[in-house]
Amino acid sequence: MVNNMSRIRDYSLSGEERKTRLRVCIFDAAGVKSAFALLLTKVTKPSLGNLLICAVSGTSTDKKEVYAYIGKGGRFQMERTISFMNGEGSLGHNTRAFIAANVDADRTKDNITLVHEDLKKVYHKLFDDSLKKYNAKQKRKDRQIKNYYDKISRSKQEKLFYEVIVQIGNRDDTGVGSAAADTAVKALQDYVELFIRRNPQLYVFGAYIHMDEETPHVHIDFVPFSTDNKRGLEIKNSLKGALASRGFESEGKGNTEWQQWSEAEKEDIAMIMQKYGVGWKKLDTHNPHLSVLDYKKQERSREVKELEQELEDIGVVIELKEEREAQLNDEIHKQQMCLKTEREEAEKTLAIVTSLKDRIMEEGVAQEKYNKALAADGQELEDIIADKKKQLADVQVALNKARAVFENANEKLAQAEEELSEVKKLRDDLIKQGEGDYYLKEEVIQLRYENQNLKKENKGLQEKLDKAYEFMKKFVIEGKSMLDKFLEWIGEKVREGRGR
């Protein structure tokens, strides 16, 4: 008896176990019938376990309610919870720009990207035209908005974008790898398409189904906007305005437009789930025909289910928090590694700079010694230059004297040549005339004597001139020896003489 009761209570389970245990119940009808008196109550809307008992025993009053649990094709319909929550909006996490500790990196390739656009480009697409019109109306430049994206990013009222995280079931009944998870993924894909169609003023720029965590779920990132605004931009960022376009308006803290919209979205998700033979596991509503005792039972059951739903949501929140915590820990670890690397690089740079500093100081000392040596050498060079200048002055004086001697000798030589020419002419005339006058002979002898003296004098001058040449060879002026300079000067004088 006890064993049969335990087996019957287990029929409230779902899925394949429910089908298997239903078959056991059918073939163990004796145990079922013996438990009727204890299980059947006056509850108008019995539990699934009671409905199964009614179906086996043939109790006609509850058969209709049994069929309410049967999906298309005569199959029992499994039920799953729906989690619809406001996310933190970590784009790096959604796109797996980094891998958190709770993510199975081997399954990241199974993730599904349904929508992916650059957020800044989306802002240009949505708001640039309205921004131009708004700025054109402003008479004061300080009231113009240069960049609407930057303005919203600094705003305390609006957010750049919002995110919802949708999950069907939990890790216990819809874990990744199960048939239920595959069905949930199909439903989530259909829901994203419906979300975009049903919410035209919630611009979806990112939709990502994660298959590398425990339970499949979708992150939907969107930019809300309102149109036909009389103040500010004609089209501007506004969640309140976007939801109002769907007919959702706040009725107070207990029933905000976000809460109303969330419930409507859950209904859409449930409709899609129904297409795949999955029911929405949610709270029962109040039945006015129940007795006071039954009503109290139902209320207690409702409270339990509320708590179960809260626990379900809390479980998802905890999963996301754990994921976020792992993500932050991973980021902190990366930052610590980066800081460690930067510190090591800084220490290496400091060592190099210190080494360079020591080297520069050593080179500075050496340079200072070298400069002092150069200064001493410079003084010595100045003394040498002064001596050379003095020698050059002496040479110039000697050169001037040599020039004067040469000019005098040149004049005498020219004069002697002239006289010699006349003597030769006279001699020739005398030879032609025969023996001439005795006086002329004496004159020729005298001229020969003077010519001989001039030759000796000219030889002496030539010797002096050669010595002057040797002396002048020792000095160089403008890349040429003083002798070359002097000979050039003599050549010019000779050419001038011939020209006259």
Supply the mean pLDDT for the chain.
76
* Amino acid at residue number 118: D
Instruction: Of 8-22, 247-261, 281-295, 344-358, give the lowest mean pLDDT range.
Output: 8-22
Please state, for a pLDDT cut of 70, what percent of the chain lies above it.
Answer: 72
Q: How confident is residue 374, by pLDDT bands cut at 50, 70 and 90?
A: confident
CATH match of 79-282 with 3.30.930.30: yes
pLDDT, mean of residues 3-31: 39
Instruction: Of 79-83, 340-344, 397-401, 438-442, give the lowest mean pLDDT range.
Output: 438-442
So what's the pLDDT on residue 474? 66
So what's the pLDDT on residue 48? 44
Measured CA to CA, the distance from residue 100 to residue 473 in angstroms comes to 93
Q: How confident is residue 4, by pLDDT bands cut at 50, 70 and 90?
A: very low
Q: How confident is residue 5, by pLDDT bands cut at 50, 70 and 90?
A: very low
So what's the pLDDT on residue 369? 85
Query: Would you say residue 148 has pLDDT above 50?
Result: yes
48-98 tens-digit pLDDT: 444 444 443 333 333 333 444 444 444 446 899 999 998 888 888 888 888
Query: Would you say residue 294 has pLDDT above 90?
Result: no
303-336 tens-digit pLDDT: 676 676 667 667 667 767 777 777 788 788 888 8
So what's the pLDDT on residue 362? 87
pTM above 0.85, yes or no: no
348-365 tens-digit pLDDT: 888 898 888 888 888 888
Please state, for a pLDDT cut of 90, what percent of the chain lies above it.
Answer: 33
So what's the pLDDT on residue 449? 74
pLDDT, mean of residues 398-412: 75
pLDDT, mean of residues 157-170: 94
The Cα-based distances of 161 to 20, 149, 150, 497 in angstroms read 47, 11, 13, 107
Secondary structure in 3-state letters for the chain: CHHHHHHHHHHHCCCHHHHHHHHHHHHCHHHHHHCHHHHCCCCCCCCHHHHHHHHHHCCHHHHHHHHCCECHHHCECEEECEEEEECCCCHHHHCCCCCCCCCCHHHHHHCEEEEECCHHHHHHHHHHHHHHHHHHHCCCHHHCCCCHHHHHHHCCCCCCCEEEEEEECCCCCCCCCCHHHHHHHHHHHHHHHHHHHHCCCEEEEEEEEECCCCCCEEEEEEEEEECCCCCCCCCEECHHHHHHCCCCCCCCCCCCHHHHHHHHHHHHHHHHHHHCCEEECCCCCCCCCCCHHHHHHHHHHHHHHHHHHHHHHHHHHHHHHHHHHHHHHHHHHHHHHHHHHHHHHHHHHHHHHHHHHHHHHHHHHHHHHHHHHHHHHHHHHHHHHHHHHHHHHHHHHHHHHHHHHHHHHHHHHHHHHHHHHHHHHHHHHHHHHCCCCHHHHHHHHHHHHHHHHHHHHHHHHHHHHHHHHHHHHCCEECCEEHHHHHHHHHHHHHHHHHHC
Tokens of 416: 């002697």
Q: How confident is residue 382, by pLDDT bands cut at 50, 70 and 90?
A: confident
Alpha helices in 276-291 (DSSP H): none
26-60 tens-digit pLDDT: 333 343 333 333 333 333 344 444 444 444 333 33
Tell which wins on pLDDT, 3 or 106. 106
Instruction: Of 98-102, 174-178, 340-344, give the lowest mean pLDDT range.
Output: 98-102
In the chain, where the domains are located: 2-74, 79-282, 384-499
So what's the pLDDT on residue 22? 38
pLDDT, mean of residues 361-386: 83
Query: Would you say residue 290 has pLDDT above 70?
Result: no
Q: How confident is residue 101, by pLDDT bands cut at 50, 70 and 90?
A: confident
Whose structure tokens read 């700079």? 353
Instruction: Of 23-27, 179-183, 260-264, 360-364, give the lowest mean pLDDT range.
Output: 23-27
The Cα-based distances of 377 to 363, 381, 382, 383, 388 in angstroms read 20, 6, 9, 10, 16
So what's the pLDDT on residue 15? 43
Query: Would you say residue 193 has pLDDT above 50?
Result: yes
Measured CA to CA, the distance from residue 127 to residue 119 in angstroms comes to 12
Best mean pLDDT range from 160-164, 343-347, 395-399, 484-488: 160-164
